Structure formats: structure tokens, C-alpha cells
Amino acid sequence: MSDPSVYGPDKVLIFDTTLRDGEQSPGATLNAQEKLDIARQLARLGVDIIEAGFPVASPGDLEAVKRIAETVGQETRVDKHGNTAEPPTICGLARANKKDIDAAWEAVQPAKHPCIHTFIATSPVHMEYKLRMSPEEVIERTREMVSYAKQFCDDVEFSPEDAGRSHPKYLYQILEVAIEAGATTLNIPDTVGYTTPDEFGRLIHDIRENTPGAKDVVISVHCHDDLGLATANTMAGVQNGARQVEVTLNGIGERAGNTSLEEVVMALYVRQQVYEIDSNIVTQEIHRTSDMVSRYTGMMIQPNKAIVGSNAFAHEAGIHQDGMLKNKRTYEIMDADTIGLSHSKLVLGKHSGRHAFRVRLQEMGYHLEDDELNKVFRRFKELADKKKVVSDADLEALVGDEVYQPQETWELVGVQVQCGINVVPTAVVTLRNVETGQVMTDAGFGTGPVDAVYQGIKRIVQVPNTLTEFVVQAVTEGIDANGDVTIRIAVPESRGYSHTAQGRARRRLFSGRGVDTDILVACAKAYIQALNKLIDSESQDSAAVRITQDDAVPA
């Protein structure tokens, strides 16, 4: 299948849409700084294209995409062979109208390699009920808007939304028009995750065979996971000539999510003999990127998730352990090292100095500024006092907790809790308002210690919200483990909504994560982080463009 005269280059381009389709997952909202941090890590991971957002959706998203274009989009990087490589392409999404395309261009223009991705729905149900346009009108709009985008940008991607449920003959027609108008990539989305691998593979094959000009442009695939078939469909697309895959870390995205980057990349890597095609991904960065995306979005990874789940390299059954001890290949088809999962346990101890600490972090891929390093080093020393063994996982959690934080309005200064049998759980909380410098203390009573802490914080911050999810995990094994708390809070219905792909109102959710050996401190930190995100987003929302039912956001 690798014959370049039939299928084009022996490379699949990795188009990462974690910051656009992935961010559309309920509660996964990211602020501009978080998006920039993730974009930097995506560049290190080696992705070819970063779809950084949907610029017309809000001024905040436009600014975030622009910052990514101005920085990550201009910086050279190191490729998987250790050579200097071009910056990634920075792409912005736009519906097929001038306002969206103008916003996308404004945002991506500073990048060395900018791209505008425009789309319009092509399935009968979408054209009739959502767009209320005839098939002829949709074709005409495609011609006009792809040409419009092309005036600004050489690299234009066109997607017929809901291609998986569109008539193939209609697709050949509209795709031909898109090519004539200047599209350089044709992306074929299975927007609602409806197709099977056979069907989807055949669709890609038939599009290449029946669309005039299709063999001169890149064919891309974009699959959703509603039936759990996203990765299988994507691989079928690749086997039938797709040379770009649209993916997200951990498979996050609308509803059941998108195809996950790590699954596709590792399938290509482990089963080279089947696919005979490579990607530019630095696989050793997969684990770290996955962890960062999970931390920032608050979207936990299920333990049995392929490649990046915590059980993906764990062996429980005696018979498996026995086999592993005799030869790892009995039950492991890839090395944990390949995805950057370090097995080193004892990394540093309480006598380690700042230099060794910095070097270890650099080996792990963290290049921190001096003040950031100092903060993390202080936390490391505190931790090393409490814990004999400080592992890489601990260090990653500390860096995440100290350095990669959203815009702060409130900061935790102190928390003291009283609880037990026959006492009313009580917490005294002290917070500092970072903007005004004001320090405030209040007390809360609750059904348990966590509730008491949350009531105390609520009384100070005074922003209505309800807790919808609360998960506590240990970062490593042992009684002295760091506690890692993830929570999600919802804004009450009276304070506004976001909108789903169908334009329906949806409650706005914000996630927060906190790490500490004291579980109640971790809870307080997680809650404050989520509240800071909520406050930050409300200040941006006042200027946000409202997305109505007629021009709904894509899946």
C-alpha cells in the first residue's frame, strides 16, 4: 500500500484538533495561556498541523489562536531525528461565510505556515434542516467561500461536514468544485461517527477515483467515535489513500470524541509491516502530552484506555506476570519507553540540589524559567521531606500544579480543618485576591471536611456554582503518595450557557485540578482553579459572539 505512484508520499500528516474539536468537549474549556502551553507541547510532539481554534466563536479564541500563530507558528523545532524542523502549520476553523473566514485569517496570518479550514454540511438532513439550503446553493457557497479564503491564504482545507451520511456522487461534485476554487486539502469527516471501517475506507477510495483532481490534493480523514469505530475508520482511510488524519490527544472531542492521536500513531509504528507508512511524531512525547491535556482539560483518562491509560502497561494476572518476567514480548507489543513512559522510580531525594533537579526536569522535557524552577524546587523540597521516593510522576504533577495554571484571581493562602466523630466538620480558609491583594478569611461548615472547605471558599469568592464531579487519585503508590484531585463545577442555568453542535443550550462546566500530599489542600486547590477559570471566562464572555442554531458549531 505504500506505492507512492498510487497513494502519494509515505508519510501521513498528523493534524491535531485537540485545541478545537477537543476543546468542544463539555467542561474542557481552556484559556489562552493553557492553549499556548498545549500548542508548544504539540509542536514538540511533532504534529504537522495544529488546529488552534475557531476564531469567530469569541474574541478570546481569536486572540488565543493569534498568540499561537505568533509564537509556536514561527519557532523552529527539533524533529524525531534530532534535526531542526519547520514550525507546524497553524490552522483556524471557519464556517463557509466571510465573517468566519476573515476572523480565521486574522488569527492564523502571523504563522509561517497558516491554513484556513472552511466547511459546510453536505448530508441531506443537515442541508434541509440545519442550513435550509438546497444542494445547488451549498455547492455555490463552497465555490465562493473557498475562493474567498484562497485570496488570503495558499493553504485552504475544505470539509463537507457529515460526509459519512452524504451521497457519494454529490460529494464528488462538491469536492471537485472545492479543488477548482483552490482547496489544497479535502477533509472527509464522519461527523456523527456513523460509518463502519469498510464503508469509510470505500468512501475514501471512491472519492480519490471519482473526483477530478483529487489525486493532486491531500485527502484527510476526520472521524468521531460514537460507535467506538473512530480509529478503525481512520486506519481504513489511510489504507485507501488518506494522507492526513485529524486527531486529538486522549480522543477528546464532541460527544464520544474524535480519533485519538496516540492510537493512530502507535498503530502506524507497531504495525509498520501492515501500513508501511510513517508519521513525524516523536513518540516519546506522547505520554507527557496526553497527561498535560488531561490535566488542563480536567478530562480524566480511563485506566484501560489504549496506549495512555494507567493500566495500558500494567500486568495483573499471575500468568501474565510470569510470562512478562520470562520475556516482555509475551504480553507487551510495544515498550513503555516508546511513548515516553519512564519506569524510573527513585528520581531525586531530599538531598538533591537545584542543578540536579533542573537537569532531571530538562531530561523530562521541561525547560522552566528561573522563577518557575524556584517554585517547583520549593515544592519538591517540601515533598521530599514528607516522601522518601519522589518519582517522575510526582515531578510531572508538581510542574503541572505550579507552572501550568490558568489566570489567577484567587490564590490559596491557608486552610485548616476540624472533623471526626461527633463534631461538625468545620474549615477555616484564607484566600488572597491576586488582583487587589486583599486577604480574606472565612469559615465553612459542611457534611464532611471537603464540603466544609468548599463552603468556606464559596463564602469568600461569592460566585454561584455547583459541584458536579469530584475524583481523587493517588499520583504514585504508597501511604505517602501525592493526592491528585480533579473536580468539575457548573454555572447555574440563570448565568448563561454554551451551545452544542445542534445549537442547543448546554450548561457551562469548568474543571480544576490540585495536587498535594494533604488531600484537603489538593481539594481546595482544585476548587480554586475551577473558580478562577469560571471567573476568567465570564470576563471574556461579555464580548463573545453568540452562536445561534442556524450557524451551529460543528461536531
Residue 304's Cβ-count burial label (10 Å; 0-12, 13-18, 19+) is: exposed
Q: What span, in angstroms and rounded, lies between the C-alpha atoms of 67 and 115?
A: 15
Q: What span, in angstroms and rounded, lies between the C-alpha atoms of 481 and 418?
A: 22
Query: In 3-state terms, what secondary structure has residue 116?
Result: strand
Task: Choose the stretch contacting ligand KIV; rule: CB under 6 A; options: 123-131, 144-152, 186-194, 454-462.
Answer: 186-194
Task: Choose the stretch contacting Zn ion; rule: CB under 5 A; options: 13-21, 235-243, 412-420, 485-493.
Answer: 13-21
Q: What span, in angstroms and rounded, lies between the C-alpha atoms of 84 and 412?
A: 42
List helix spans (H) across 306-369. Answer: 318-326, 354-363
Task: Choose the stretch contacting Zn ion; rule: CB under 5 A; options: 71-79, 163-171, 448-456, 547-555.
Answer: 547-555
Cβ-based nearer residue to ligand KIV, 459 or 499: 499
Task: Choose the stretch contacting ligand KIV; rule: CB under 6 A; options: 167-175, 184-192, 307-315, 352-360.
Answer: 184-192
For residue 338, the one-letter residue type is: T
From the list Zn ion, ligand KIV, none, partner contacted by residue 159 (C-beta under 5 to 8 A by kind): ligand KIV
Chain residues 157-176 in contact with ligand KIV, contact rule CB under 6 A: 159, 161
Question: Is residue 225 at the binding interface for Zn ion, with CB under 5 A as the rule?
Answer: no
121 with 130: CB under 8 angstroms? yes
Cell match 488565543: residue? 64
Residue from 15, 105, 119, 194 that binds ligand KIV (CB under 6 A)? 119
Binding mask 18-57 for ligand KIV (x = CB under 6 A): ---x------------------------------------
41 with 249: CB under 8 angstroms? no
Q: Is the C-alpha dihedral spanning 179, 220, 70, 118 positive or negative?
A: positive
**Extended strands (E) in 41-132:** 49-53, 77-78, 84-85, 89-95, 114-121
Binding mask 187-216 for ligand KIV (x = CB under 6 A): x-x-x-------------------------
Task: Choose the stretch contacting ligand KIV; rule: CB under 6 A; options: 40-48, 183-191, 480-488, 524-532.
Answer: 183-191
Task: For 332, list phi and psi in degrees, rounded to 5.
Answer: -120, 125
Cβ-based nearer residue to ligand KIV, 114 or 554: 554
Bridge partners, residue 418, by sequence: 426
Closest distance of CB 249 from Zn ion, Å: 15
Tally Cβ neighbours within 10 Å of residue 375: 17
Cβ-based nearer residue to Zn ion, 190 or 262: 190
For residue 155, the one-letter residue type is: D
Chain residues 18-37 in contact with Zn ion, contact rule CB under 5 A: 21
323 with 331: CB under 8 angstroms? yes
Closest distance of CB 478 from ligand KIV, Å: 43
Q: Which residue is nearest to Zn ion (CB)?
A: 21
Q: What span, in angstroms and rounded, lies between the C-alpha atoms of 53 and 103?
A: 11
Task: Choose the stretch contacting Zn ion; rule: CB under 5 A; options: 5-13, 15-23, 64-72, 92-100.
Answer: 15-23
Nearest CA to 234 out of 261, 269, 208, 274 is that of 261
Closest distance of CB 455 from Zn ion, Å: 40
Question: Is residue 93 at the binding interface for Zn ion, with CB under 5 A as the rule?
Answer: no
Half-sphere exposure for 512 (CA within 13 Å, toward CB): 24
Question: Is residue 289 at the binding interface for ligand KIV, with CB under 6 A as the rule?
Answer: no
Cβ-based nearer residue to Zn ion, 347 or 555: 555
From the list Zn ion, ligand KIV, none, partner contacted by residue 275 (C-beta under 5 to 8 A by kind): none
Chain residues 86-105 in contact with ligand KIV, contact rule CB under 6 A: none
Cell match 500468568: residue? 319
Residue from 40, 66, 67, 222 that binds ligand KIV (CB under 6 A)? 222
Cell numbers at 293, concatenated: 491535556
For residue 47, the one-letter residue type is: V
Closest distance of CB 189 from ligand KIV, Å: 3
Cβ-based nearer residue to Zn ion, 490 or 555: 555
Cβ-based nearer residue to ligand KIV, 119 or 366: 119
Q: What span, in angstroms and rounded, lies between the C-alpha atoms of 502 and 143?
A: 25
Cell numbers at 523, concatenated: 481539594
Summarize as ranges the residues that interact with ligand KIV (CB under 6 A).
21, 119, 159, 161, 187, 189, 191, 222, 224, 554-555
Summarize as ranges the residues that interact with Zn ion (CB under 5 A).
21, 555
